Chain A
Amino acid sequence: MPVRVQDAVFDAGAELNAFTGAVAGAGAVVSFTGIVRDVDGGLRDMLIEHYPGMTEKAITGIVAEARVRWDLADALVIHRFGQLAPGAAIMMVATAAPHRAAAFAAADFLMDYLKSRAPFWKKEVTAEGADWVAAKAADEDALDRWS
């Protein structure tokens, strides 16, 4: 159940291959990679702040909850912090399960909870200045799907 919070760049493809190669007893692996999106073409950087200590605890708790809800062979979460360029991978999740339904559902659940319950804050830097990204009500509402 690896959870990694890092400022270093990671290679999502290599991470997925390593995860898939190491997992035993899985018939399905699902992965999601979140990348820095430049909506208006003006984004210079994304700055991601986090709460060292709580971040790792919160993600580990979310992964543990996923493993209670679904029959998973393994799960991986990598989330970056610091300064990220447009197009860079921010984070990835991968889930492995005997069957695909559990792998898809668990990855979806992990993403919903990472968005609103892992202590990260994004700031977008453009030529005009820097602004904190506001949390969306839809992201909070998405958690209701799992209650």
Chain B
Amino acid sequence: MDVLYFAWVRERIGLPRERVETQAATVKDLVTELRAREARYDAAFADTTALRVALDQVLADFDAPLAGVREVAFFPPMTGG
């Protein structure tokens, strides 16, 4: 699946998007896998209450299943308007 990062999450991880091969069942499981990769991922995902997630461009929960999902995006709370 494609994993996208925005705002300070993108800056902390150091890239805007990447292709991730994973068997993770839920968003939470994917976060655990990413955190285990490198310190920059571990730092970016240290506090998931400060993050939001979208699955195929729709806001979701960290408990949400990933079956059939093509695009996962992580970002801080939005500041539009």
Q: Does A97 have its Cβ within 8 Å of any Cβ on chain B?
A: no
Q: Which of A53, A111, A122 contacts B79 (CB 8 A)?
A: A122
Q: A136 to chain B: closest CB distance in Å? A: 9
B: number of interface residues (CB 8 Å): 17
Q: Is the CB of A121 within 8 A of B76?
A: yes
- Interface residue SS majority, chain A: mixed
Chain A interface size band reads 20 to 34
24 contacts between A and B (CB under 8 A): A49-B6, A49-B7, A51-B6, A51-B75, A54-B54, A54-B73, A57-B57, A58-B57, A79-B80, A114-B80, A115-B80, A117-B80, A118-B78, A119-B6, A119-B54, A119-B73, A119-B75, A120-B78, A121-B78, A132-B8, A132-B79, A134-B76, A134-B79, A135-B79
Q: 9 closest Cβ contacts across the A-B interface? A: A135-B77, A120-B80, A54-B57, A121-B7, A115-B81, A118-B80, A114-B81, A122-B79, A114-B80
